[in-house]
Amino acid sequence: MSDRKNVYQRIIEVQKVVDYVQKERGAGQGHNAVTHDGVVAKIRQALIDQDLVFTLSLRDRDLLPPLEGKAMRLYTAQYEAKLTCADEPKDNMIMQVEGHGADSSDKSPGKAMSYATKTFFLKLFLIETGDNEESRTHDPADSPITPFQLEKISNLMKETDTDLSKMTEVIKTQYNVAYERLSDFNVGWAQWAIDVLEKKVKPSA
């Protein structure tokens, strides 16, 4: 049996590591809101790790006339959002998603695409949003390390010839957190380890 994950299994792997996006202060009209850039920043690396490619295709659109005395016009559009496995393009999933954006110049189509992209990621991956960390009922960083993270860290440690005891010593000395085994790591510290090890693989120029 092949160990290759299908598109839905990869979606679950992304859900394991990305489940919260904090709203940005004043990003909405007089209120805090989740932004397109904020969501993409959270989801991008997880998609890359799972070899998932995101595409958004326009299917229909409509530009509504402005209200009397107003320059602002509302642009609405329907898109086909698709996640495709890079190693097997026939393995994909498609969702219909709507986007809209209001602007007095030429920015409304871009706003609609951003809205549709943000909505697709938030709903597909069941990502929680909130005004601050204190408002959360559960911190995802405290969840146990995922199988994907465990495998990735193990491979990176071999590639960089990194000893686990040295890594745990750094965590204990600098952050006062004690771990003995890699399997004891939570999601947050696992991601920290991945970030540190990837920098050793690809040192900055």
Does a structural domain hold residue 99?
yes
Residue 144 DSSP symbol = B
- Structure token digits, residue 49: 């790790």
Is 2 contained in some domain?
Answer: no
- Residues 46 and 126 occupy one common structural domain: yes
- pLDDT recorded at residue 142: 67
Domain range spanning residue 192? 141-201
- Indicate whether 23 and 89 sit together in one domain: yes
CATH number of domain containing 35: 3.30.390
Within 8 A by CB and 6+ apart from 158, the residues are none
**Residues 168 and 112 occupy one common structural domain:** no
pLDDT single digits (tens) 41-59: 999 999 999 999 999 999 9
Interacting residues of 157 by C-beta distance below 8 A, sequence separation 6+: 163, 164, 167, 197
**Which pairing describes strands 73-85 and 20-22: parallel, antiparallel, or unpaired?**
unpaired
Mean pLDDT of the region 66-88: 89
CB 127 within 8 Å of CB 19: yes
Q: Are residues 173 and 119 in the same domain?
A: no
- Which of 92, 114, 133 delimits the end of a domain? 133
Mean pLDDT of the chain: 86
CB-CB contact of 94 with 81 (8 Å): yes
Domain total in the chain: 2
| CB of 155 closer than 8 Å to CB of 147 | no
Residues whose CB falls within 8 Å of the CB of residue 188, separated by 6 or more in sequence, listed in order: 139, 140, 141, 142
Asked if the structure places residue 94 within a domain, the reply is: yes
SS3 47: helix
Are residue 117 and residue 168 in the same domain, yes or no? Answer: no
Q: Give the pLDDT confidence score for residue 133 in this predicted structure.
A: 55
Domain identity same for 190 and 126:
no
Please indicate, yes or no, if residue 183 is contained in any of the structural domains.
Answer: yes
Residue 33 lies in a domain: yes
Choose one of 108, 133, 158: the last residue of a domain: 133
The pLDDT value given to residue 205: 46
Same domain assignment for residues 72 and 107: yes
DSSP-derived letter for residue 145 is: P
Q: Is residue 1 part of a domain?
A: no
**Residues 129 and 196 reside in one and the same domain:** no
> HSE-up of 168 (CA within 13 Å, CB side)?
12
Judgement on whether residues 99 and 196 belong to the same structural domain of the protein? no
Q: Beta partners for 20?
A: 128
Instruction: Tell whether 162 is covered by a domain.
Output: yes
User: Do 109 and 174 belong together in one domain?
Assistant: no
Alpha-carbon span 138 to 143, nearest angstrom: 9
Pairing of strands 52-63, 73-85: antiparallel
Segment 108-127, tens digit of pLDDT: 899 999 999 999 999 999 99
For the segment 168-199, what is each residue's pLDDT rounded down to a tens digit?
Answer: 888 888 777 888 888 888 888 888 888 889 88
